[in-house]
Amino acid sequence: MFQKRLWWIIFFSLSFYLGYSCPGTPQFTLPATWCVNSPVTFNNTSTNNAQSYTWTFGDASAAVTVTNDNDQLHTYTAPGNYQIKLIRTFSNGCKDSVTHSINIVANNQAPPSFNFSPNNGCANVPVNFTNTTPSPGSLTFNWNFGDPASGGDNTENTQNSIHEFTATGSGGSTPYTVSLTLLTISVVAIQHRKR
Protein backbone atom coordinates (compact mmCIF):
# COMPACT_ATOMS: atom_id res chain seq x y z
CA MET A 1 0.00 0.00 0.00
CA PHE A 2 2.88 2.38 0.80
CA GLN A 3 4.36 1.75 -2.65
CA LYS A 4 1.03 2.55 -4.33
CA ARG A 5 0.77 5.91 -2.49
CA LEU A 6 4.36 6.74 -3.31
CA TRP A 7 3.66 6.07 -6.99
CA TRP A 8 0.67 8.46 -6.93
CA ILE A 9 2.75 11.14 -5.22
CA ILE A 10 5.47 10.82 -7.87
CA PHE A 11 2.87 10.89 -10.71
CA PHE A 12 1.12 13.94 -9.25
CA SER A 13 4.45 15.73 -8.81
CA LEU A 14 5.46 15.05 -12.41
CA SER A 15 2.07 16.22 -13.70
CA PHE A 16 2.32 19.38 -11.62
CA TYR A 17 5.80 20.29 -12.81
CA LEU A 18 5.34 19.29 -16.43
CA GLY A 19 1.92 20.94 -16.70
CA TYR A 20 -0.58 20.34 -19.45
CA SER A 21 -0.11 21.35 -23.04
CA CYS A 22 -3.01 23.07 -24.68
CA PRO A 23 -4.57 21.19 -27.61
CA GLY A 24 -4.57 22.72 -31.05
CA THR A 25 -3.35 26.16 -32.03
CA PRO A 26 -4.71 29.61 -31.20
CA GLN A 27 -5.14 31.71 -34.34
CA PHE A 28 -7.21 34.45 -35.93
CA THR A 29 -7.14 36.43 -39.15
CA LEU A 30 -7.58 40.15 -39.70
CA PRO A 31 -6.87 42.77 -42.35
CA ALA A 32 -3.48 44.52 -42.12
CA THR A 33 -5.12 47.94 -42.48
CA TRP A 34 -8.62 49.16 -41.65
CA CYS A 35 -10.51 52.43 -41.31
CA VAL A 36 -11.22 54.37 -38.12
CA ASN A 37 -14.89 54.24 -36.99
CA SER A 38 -15.62 51.19 -39.20
CA PRO A 39 -16.25 47.81 -37.52
CA VAL A 40 -13.48 45.31 -38.25
CA THR A 41 -13.99 41.53 -38.02
CA PHE A 42 -11.43 39.30 -36.32
CA ASN A 43 -11.95 35.74 -37.61
CA ASN A 44 -11.21 33.11 -34.95
CA THR A 45 -9.55 30.19 -36.77
CA SER A 46 -8.26 28.42 -33.64
CA THR A 47 -8.29 24.64 -33.61
CA ASN A 48 -9.82 22.62 -30.73
CA ASN A 49 -12.60 24.21 -28.71
CA ALA A 50 -11.53 26.01 -25.55
CA GLN A 51 -13.68 26.70 -22.50
CA SER A 52 -13.39 30.45 -23.11
CA TYR A 53 -11.80 32.99 -25.45
CA THR A 54 -10.62 36.40 -24.26
CA TRP A 55 -10.00 39.18 -26.78
CA THR A 56 -7.99 42.34 -26.04
CA PHE A 57 -7.94 44.97 -28.75
CA GLY A 58 -4.97 47.16 -27.77
CA ASP A 59 -7.03 50.27 -27.12
CA ALA A 60 -8.81 51.62 -24.03
CA SER A 61 -11.74 49.20 -24.39
CA ALA A 62 -12.31 46.40 -21.89
CA ALA A 63 -11.33 42.82 -22.72
CA VAL A 64 -14.14 40.65 -24.08
CA THR A 65 -14.49 37.04 -22.85
CA VAL A 66 -16.81 34.64 -24.66
CA THR A 67 -17.53 30.91 -24.36
CA ASN A 68 -17.68 30.23 -28.09
CA ASP A 69 -15.18 30.51 -30.91
CA ASN A 70 -17.26 33.02 -32.88
CA ASP A 71 -15.61 35.89 -34.72
CA GLN A 72 -15.39 39.25 -32.97
CA LEU A 73 -16.25 42.74 -34.21
CA HIS A 74 -14.50 45.83 -32.87
CA THR A 75 -14.49 49.51 -33.83
CA TYR A 76 -11.42 51.69 -33.34
CA THR A 77 -12.12 55.38 -32.76
CA ALA A 78 -8.60 56.71 -33.35
CA PRO A 79 -5.91 56.02 -35.96
CA GLY A 80 -2.85 54.04 -34.87
CA ASN A 81 -1.25 50.62 -34.73
CA TYR A 82 -2.99 48.25 -32.30
CA GLN A 83 -2.04 44.84 -30.90
CA ILE A 84 -4.94 42.35 -30.77
CA LYS A 85 -4.53 39.34 -28.49
CA LEU A 86 -6.64 36.18 -28.35
CA ILE A 87 -6.26 34.10 -25.17
CA ARG A 88 -7.73 30.57 -25.04
CA THR A 89 -8.50 29.00 -21.65
CA PHE A 90 -9.21 25.26 -21.28
CA SER A 91 -11.02 23.42 -18.48
CA ASN A 92 -7.72 21.93 -17.25
CA GLY A 93 -6.37 25.46 -16.61
CA CYS A 94 -4.16 25.55 -19.69
CA LYS A 95 -3.92 28.95 -21.41
CA ASP A 96 -2.30 29.95 -24.67
CA SER A 97 -2.49 33.03 -26.84
CA VAL A 98 -1.63 34.65 -30.16
CA THR A 99 -1.12 38.35 -30.96
CA HIS A 100 -1.43 40.21 -34.27
CA SER A 101 -1.36 43.90 -35.14
CA ILE A 102 -3.63 46.10 -37.23
CA ASN A 103 -3.03 49.58 -38.65
CA ILE A 104 -6.07 51.86 -38.29
CA VAL A 105 -6.07 54.83 -40.67
CA ALA A 106 -7.98 58.13 -40.57
CA ASN A 107 -10.48 59.59 -43.04
CA ASN A 108 -12.24 56.26 -43.43
CA GLN A 109 -9.74 55.37 -46.11
CA ALA A 110 -7.14 52.61 -46.26
CA PRO A 111 -3.84 53.34 -48.04
CA PRO A 112 -3.95 52.87 -51.82
CA SER A 113 -3.02 49.47 -53.22
CA PHE A 114 -3.20 47.87 -56.65
CA ASN A 115 -2.16 44.89 -58.77
CA PHE A 116 -0.95 44.85 -62.34
CA SER A 117 -0.59 42.30 -65.12
CA PRO A 118 1.65 41.35 -66.83
CA ASN A 119 4.30 42.19 -64.25
CA ASN A 120 7.13 42.43 -66.78
CA GLY A 121 7.14 42.61 -70.52
CA CYS A 122 8.12 44.58 -73.56
CA ALA A 123 7.40 48.09 -74.78
CA ASN A 124 3.99 48.65 -76.43
CA VAL A 125 2.32 45.81 -74.50
CA PRO A 126 -0.81 46.91 -72.58
CA VAL A 127 -0.46 46.59 -68.79
CA ASN A 128 -3.69 46.28 -66.76
CA PHE A 129 -3.72 48.13 -63.42
CA THR A 130 -6.43 47.07 -60.96
CA ASN A 131 -7.24 49.08 -57.85
CA THR A 132 -7.45 46.76 -54.78
CA THR A 133 -7.97 49.47 -52.15
CA PRO A 134 -10.88 48.74 -49.78
CA SER A 135 -13.17 51.74 -50.18
CA PRO A 136 -15.93 52.57 -47.69
CA GLY A 137 -17.22 55.43 -49.86
CA SER A 138 -16.75 57.28 -53.13
CA LEU A 139 -13.14 58.07 -54.03
CA THR A 140 -11.22 60.11 -56.57
CA PHE A 141 -8.53 58.10 -58.34
CA ASN A 142 -5.37 59.50 -59.90
CA TRP A 143 -2.89 57.18 -61.62
CA ASN A 144 0.62 58.36 -62.51
CA PHE A 145 2.53 55.83 -64.61
CA GLY A 146 5.97 57.44 -64.24
CA ASP A 147 6.20 57.56 -68.01
CA PRO A 148 6.39 61.26 -69.04
CA ALA A 149 7.30 60.23 -72.60
CA SER A 150 3.69 59.04 -73.00
CA GLY A 151 2.47 62.66 -72.73
CA GLY A 152 -1.17 63.03 -71.68
CA ASP A 153 -1.47 59.27 -71.24
CA ASN A 154 0.95 59.39 -68.27
CA THR A 155 -1.97 60.05 -65.89
CA GLU A 156 -5.54 58.80 -65.66
CA ASN A 157 -8.50 59.36 -63.32
CA THR A 158 -10.32 56.01 -63.42
CA GLN A 159 -10.65 53.29 -60.79
CA ASN A 160 -8.76 50.76 -62.96
CA SER A 161 -6.54 51.54 -65.91
CA ILE A 162 -4.54 50.21 -68.85
CA HIS A 163 -1.24 51.76 -69.90
CA GLU A 164 1.25 51.00 -72.67
CA PHE A 165 4.84 51.92 -71.93
CA THR A 166 6.28 53.03 -75.28
CA ALA A 167 9.94 52.62 -74.30
CA THR A 168 12.03 50.56 -71.96
CA GLY A 169 13.50 52.25 -68.90
CA SER A 170 17.08 53.58 -69.14
CA GLY A 171 19.42 50.78 -69.99
CA GLY A 172 16.45 48.46 -70.55
CA SER A 173 16.11 47.49 -66.90
CA THR A 174 15.26 50.61 -64.88
CA PRO A 175 11.76 50.21 -63.44
CA TYR A 176 8.90 52.62 -63.95
CA THR A 177 7.44 53.86 -60.68
CA VAL A 178 3.65 53.82 -60.82
CA SER A 179 1.61 55.53 -58.13
CA LEU A 180 -2.08 55.63 -57.26
CA THR A 181 -3.43 58.62 -55.33
CA LEU A 182 -6.80 58.46 -53.54
CA LEU A 183 -8.30 61.62 -52.06
CA THR A 184 -5.37 63.09 -50.09
CA ILE A 185 -3.53 59.79 -49.55
CA SER A 186 -0.63 59.19 -51.92
CA VAL A 187 1.61 56.15 -51.82
CA VAL A 188 4.12 54.87 -54.35
CA ALA A 189 2.66 51.42 -54.52
CA ILE A 190 4.69 49.36 -56.99
CA GLN A 191 7.49 49.48 -59.51
CA HIS A 192 7.06 48.11 -63.01
CA ARG A 193 10.05 46.99 -65.09
CA LYS A 194 9.89 47.23 -68.88
CA ARG A 195 12.43 45.50 -71.11
Kindly list the domain boundaries of the chain, sorted by start residue. Answer: 22-105, 114-194
Instruction: Find all residues with CB under 8 Å of 187, minimum gap 6, and list them.
Output: 111, 112, 113, 179, 180
Provide mean pLDDT across the span 47-68: 94
The Cα 131–Cα 109 span in angstroms is 14
**Cα–Cα–Cα angle for 99, 103, 105, rounded to 5 degrees:** 155
CATH class for the domain made up of 22-105: mainly beta
Encode pLDDT of 137-163 as tens digits. Answer: 566 788 888 888 888 888 898 889 999
Q: Could you check whether 22-105 and 114-194 share the same CATH topology?
A: yes
Instruction: Provide the pLDDT confidence category of residue 14 given band limits of 50, 70 and 90.
Output: very low
Domain 114-194 of CATH type 2.60.40.10: yes
Of the candidates 85, 115, 106, the one whose C-alpha atom is nearest the C-alpha of residue 97 is 85
Banded pLDDT at 106 (limits 50, 70, 90):
confident
Mean pLDDT of 91-119: 85
Whole-structure pTM value: 0.50
Residues 6+ apart with CB under 8 A from 18: none
- Cβ proximity of 74 and 100 under 8 Å: no
Mean pLDDT of 54-64: 96
Encode 134-169: b = buried (16+ Cβ within 10 Å), e = exposed.
ebeeebebbbbbbbeeeeeeebbeebebebebeeeb
Element (H, E) at 2: helix 2-18
Over pLDDT 70: what percentage of the chain? 74
**DSSP string for 150-171:** GGGGGEE-SSSEEEE--SPPGG
